Amino acid sequence: CLLGIEDMDSGEISINNQKQHITSISRAMDCGLGYLPADRKNLGILGPMTVKENMTIANLGSYLSAGFLKKEAEIKDAEAQITLLNTKTPTIDHRVENLSGGNQQKVIISRWLLKKPNIYIFAEPTRGIDVGAKAEIYKIIRDVANGGNAVVMISSELPEIIGMSDRIMVMNEGVIEGFLDQHTNPATEEEILSMAVGHEYVL
């Protein structure tokens, strides 16, 4: 709904106190939204395309001049992102589908870092990646937030939610059950699960 892929049953979207009518992904991008999907393989990476192409595609307009692609600028930005996020790839022209899951995720994050949205939506950002890559992804997310951006992280891993979040929204069958403010009262797994299932839950 936030990205205009599905229609909302009710409610509205407001960004910076301005109501927005989002009907497409391009409109969502214009409103400053960036989205990293939970299904990295099928909805995130463009498998047969290169690392460079996957990084720059959301921001392709900035590399065009009179209809021609400014390849040097595209290469420079891709190489800078590889260095910034410590992405392991033989070259920027390597097919992204041949990278590890963690490095594929870094490529998708680079895509949005180049686009520079104001609101990042990370859905299951560490699904299917190893422990070392998880730690790197967490650092990247914190850096994004510390840079003055809003980060919405959707996760089914409770330690991840508790460890990363300032504020936690718990939902049950699509309905908001409540919010937990980590600064005033750090959340527990039992508290989150109790809200999620609608009754007291004991681990």
What pTM was estimated for this model as a whole?
Answer: 0.89
**How sure is the predictor about 203, in pLDDT bands with cuts at 50, 70 and 90?**
low
Q: Sorting pLDDT into bands at 50, 70 and 90, what band is 200?
A: confident
Q: Name the β-bridge partners of 14.
A: 19
Q: Are 85 and 140 in contact (CB under 8 A)?
A: yes
Residue type, 142: R
Q: pLDDT of 72-91, one tens digit each?
A: 999 999 999 999 999 999 99
What is the structure's pLDDT at 31? 94
Band (10; pLDDT cuts 50, 70, 90): confident
- Give, in order, the Cα–Cα distances in Å from 46 to each of 41, 78, 112: 8, 15, 14
Q: What is the pLDDT of residue 9?
A: 85
Q: Are 52 and 93 in contact (CB under 8 A)?
A: yes
Report the pLDDT value the prediction gives residue 191, as an integer from 0 to 100.
93
- Indicate the SS3 state at residue 134: helix
**Tokens, residue 37:** 């999907």
User: What span, in angstroms and rounded, lies between the C-alpha atoms of 25 and 190?
Assistant: 36
What would the pLDDT profile of 111-123 be if each residue is shown by its tens digit?
A: 999 999 999 999 9
Residue of 175, 173, 172, 155 whose CA lies nearest to 164: 155
How confident is the model over 183-201, as a mean pLDDT? 89
pLDDT in tens, 25-68: 999 999 999 999 999 999 999 999 999 999 999 999 899 888 88
Cα gap 106→119, rounded to integer Å? 17
On whether the CB atoms of residues 94 and 122 are closer than 8 A, the answer is no
Query: 3-state class of 181 per DSSP?
Result: strand
Burial bucket for residue 186 (CB in 10 Å: 0-12, 13-18, 19+): exposed
Alpha-carbon span 66 to 31, nearest angstrom: 25
What pLDDT, in 10s, does the model give residues 123-177?
999 998 989 889 999 999 999 999 999 999 999 999 999 999 999 999 988 889 9
- Maximum mean pLDDT: which of 104-108, 125-129, 192-196: 104-108
pLDDT confidence bin for 95, thresholds 50/70/90: very high
